[in-house]
Structure 1
């Protein structure tokens, strides 16, 4: 299958659609393709992954053929190292002829290890553990976030595998020019563009940074640098092992790599190499993985609203007082994955995640106003659904004779539908609607219209049976207050589709379905991270803390 579109964003009559490591632009008036930007090494990585998958499949067949049919056949003979073989999966002639000691003896394939268990050969073990002779390929580039400035003059994208924030100049007609690429300390998990041309980026280790949208040519510092918190310092790493305590060849190589990493880390700390070559300002920190970030403004003051995996919604002041915490919004029992502030009601915040409900807040007061079940809606079209994982929240204005009406849209992982509610004058969600789709939605964007119903563009993973397109646009209609699909239009992306490499369904799930994995698994009173299953309550911090989830 082809990798589907996974992020979409609209400005004016231009659609920006991310697909793997590329951004494609389309004209909304006729659906025509305009241009593309590709991650620099996207094609090379795709070719390498294809070659390695083929080689792994061939190696698996070889291992299966070399495995003895019966236990009495004995182990396969050791072979001499051939040119091009890797040391980790071969034995050279000298090693083959060398006598083995009792300490070095290991169970061979086809032999019992003395404990009543049949042992695997080294090649089979290494293959099972992914340690084959094939070089590791860089992770497949995937654009995880896509947005633009209010005037559409610049586009910001994030590639998650290498933690890079990309900035492009947009000419207004769908053509992008790359201006900068900056590698963040940790993998960004949410991004917003402030009104003062600052990129506000939250990461998976709980920190929020500000970097200037445009790198100043004169090297001048921005307002964020004048008010930022000190960046967390890293302790110098020094391997405890030495060449005198490490004996095996593999461990000696590992030790040499650790020593090199320590030298690079110390150089980076001294500022001589490896440090960020751009202005980077730490604004605030959580004690948990950050999952969502929005910017709000009330009573002439701006705020940064952040949400994390530990059910917190936190309200902090904007630059230059981002260290000041104003309020918390407590009520979620599971992780929060997305938040949205309706344009017509900036005092309202809508949030969702792993709970069965969608929440409505007076965010400045930290007060919950309303909640409604999204799980019950999902069960109407998928009765077997037991839990829900909201992957996106959106807002739109629908024109009417009484004035524009505010609606909230939501999509969930593995549910082939868009859910909608009308936000009434009392800030309650009513008139629930379900718009079924020909595949699982991955991202939505709204194209507004002054005097006509808005258009919704959906990036979906099509069903293998229906073979539908991955990019859909449809005009909305309203019946008894509920939204429904009216006229659907298509994008002319055959050229893009033809150039996309094939990818397995397993790889698609691993790359694009990441929200449900935020849910904590409680076993014996402890969650998967080893902490108590009891919510952390009001615990929070202004200091960046490594939560130890291991993901950078």
Structure 2
């Protein structure tokens, strides 16, 4: 089964897209596939069947290399995962359970499906590139690892070369790179935000040096002393257990902290969902959003512990933050509600709102009966999964456009951000599948979309029936006249088939899990 591209980003003049455990690099003007990098498997090569010759050659070239990877030796290795077939995953379990137990079991099964997706290596869940286009930062979710790549020319081909990997204490859920291209800001769902240097260490000529190997923890020579003694133990059985404890010569090895540099900047008391870095009038700020409807404004490094204010007004979780490049004092946010919010985040004041409920309802109505059925059987509510700011190539009266994607909706919504900071709807663009991710194009005036070709449009669980027409997983659109026009660029997307893979809904869709239920 083929896996769609779950996240995309631009890097200089190239497009970077991640599907499953691989990262592909594209030329956005021609749509050609430049190179492919795959997460190394701890259990041998991955079982992949390639449907295109150029992908197979790129994969073999990548596997034949021995990239410089600096691993934190004190971190635990990746867990072994049990691969299951689709029939086994659908096998019912017959037992009496309460509704709360059933709900907990459903969440557990979703997590199991994400692990047993047929991928022998962790999936890439986040992508971010430096502003100068020289490095790419990726996060693989199941092993909680931040990977840094250098984007350079290798043998006449632009490809990603992994420089380092660092296993974080908790799984990152949002990342960003500072404007000076030197620091990674990583946030996890437990509410903590860390800063890490982009490069571990550099020599005078700018090359990367391996991190100093971490020595194995020394075994303590101090004899183990049990808490019990002969005066407190009376039964024959317990006395034998005490004698066995006294025979121990050493204490068990204690856990050692990770040795790579990672500094705690700030923390939320709720699940963190997104972050944005802003520079306003020469001062850096960190904007963070969480599940408890809060948007916090904190100072940048090294004063990130100082809270400047909050943007309060959401009544559901906040999932996405967007700050237009030419309006750093304006923030656009969205989440589990049917509205977009526009803020003056410096003052914490709400400037305007724009509704999405009727627009989404029109899309479902155009799709017909199936979309209505999915909306009623799954959920009527929706969550905003992507917000990006784009500008047209020429000034045509629509200087600033805000493009919005919603989870499980096969359409994108285009708004004009007026000089008065109002959002005016200009277009609803239908696409052949649910939008998984949205990004600015590598070329100015373009927008890139990642399309889900595995599920039925309008549904996040129903699998799409095989069709004779091939659906492009990546699509490019030109911004003109306040609308998005198809660029007619055909991307040569990788079509590798992972044997026995099950595309987990949780791997592509997960924002609805942030919605609070009764008792939360």
Judge same fold: TM > 0.5, yes or no: yes
Match of 2:447 among 428, 431, 456: 456
Q: Does structure 1 residue 169 correspond to structure 2 residue 154?
A: no
Q: Does structure 1 residue 2 correspond to structure 2 residue 33?
A: no
Aligned to 1:80: none
Aligned to 2:130: 149
CA contact (8 A) 1:389 1:516 kept: yes
Aligned to 2:26: 26
**Which deviations, in whole Å up to 9, do the C-alpha atoms of 1:278-331 show, x marking residues without a partner?**
001000000001000000111211000000000000000001100000010001
> What secondary structure does 1:181 align onto?
strand
CA contact (8 A) 2:447 2:479 kept: no
CA distance in 1, matches of 2:382, 2:87: 36
In the TM superposition, 1:74-93 aligns within 5 A as none
Match of 1:476 among 475, 478, 481: 478
Change (3 A) 1:182 1:426: same
Change (3 A) 1:348 1:205: same
CA contact (8 A) 1:46 1:501 kept: no
Higher relative contact order (CA 8 A, sep 6+): 2
CA distance in 2, matches of 1:387, 1:189: 23
**Which deviations, in whole Å up to 9, do the C-alpha atoms of 1:426-455 show, x marking residues without a partner?**
0010034211111111111222655xxx22
In the TM superposition, 1:79-478 aligns within 5 A as 141-171=122-152, 174-196=158-180, 197-217=182-202, 263=252, 267-268=254-255, 271=256, 275-383=257-365, 384=372, 385=375, 386-401=380-395, 405-447=399-441, 449=443, 454-462=445-453, 463=456, 464-465=464-465, 466=467, 468-476=470-478, 478=480
CA contact (8 A) 1:337 1:391 kept: yes
Q: Which segments of structure 1 move beyond 6 Å, counting only runs of 4 or more?
A: 48-51, 58-61, 135-139
Offset, 1:478: 4.2
Change (3 A) 1:322 1:407: same
CA contact (8 A) 2:332 2:341 kept: yes
> What secondary structure does 1:28 align onto?
coil
CA contact (8 A) 1:435 1:485 kept: no
Change (3 A) 1:455 1:279: same
Gap regions ≥5 residues in structure 1:
65-108, 110-127, 219-239, 248-261, 528-552
CA distance in 1, matches of 2:140, 2:81: 21
Q: Which has the larger radius of gyration?
A: 1
Offset, 1:365: 1.1
Gap regions ≥5 residues in structure 2:
49-79, 96-108, 204-226, 228-233, 238-250, 366-371, 457-463
CA distance in 2, matches of 1:379, 1:312: 27
CA contact (8 A) 1:3 1:508 kept: no
Offset, 1:263: 4.3
Change (3 A) 1:417 1:468: farther
Q: Does structure 1 residue 519 correspond to structure 2 residue 511?
A: no
Change (3 A) 1:319 1:471: same
The count of residues paired between Structure 1 and Structure 2 equals: 407
CA distance in 1, matches of 2:416, 2:398: 11
Offset, 1:51: 8.0
CA distance in 1, matches of 2:90, 2:410: 38
Change (3 A) 1:136 1:510: closer
Change (3 A) 1:298 1:502: same
**Which deviations, in whole Å up to 9, do the C-alpha atoms of 1:356-415 show, x marking residues without a partner?**
101111111111101111122111111445312111111100134456611111111110
Q: Does structure 1 residue 489 correspond to structure 2 residue 480?
A: no
CA contact (8 A) 2:11 2:130 kept: no
Aligned to 2:224: none
CA distance in 2, matches of 1:306, 1:185: 19
CA contact (8 A) 1:474 1:489 kept: yes
Change (3 A) 1:276 1:136: farther
Change (3 A) 1:204 1:29: same
Aligned to 2:63: none
Q: CA RMSD in A?
A: 3.7
Match of 2:496 among 489, 495, 498: 498
CA contact (8 A) 1:4 1:470 kept: no
CA distance in 1, matches of 2:32, 2:90: 44
CA contact (8 A) 1:476 1:487 kept: yes
CA distance in 2, matches of 1:14, 1:41: 26
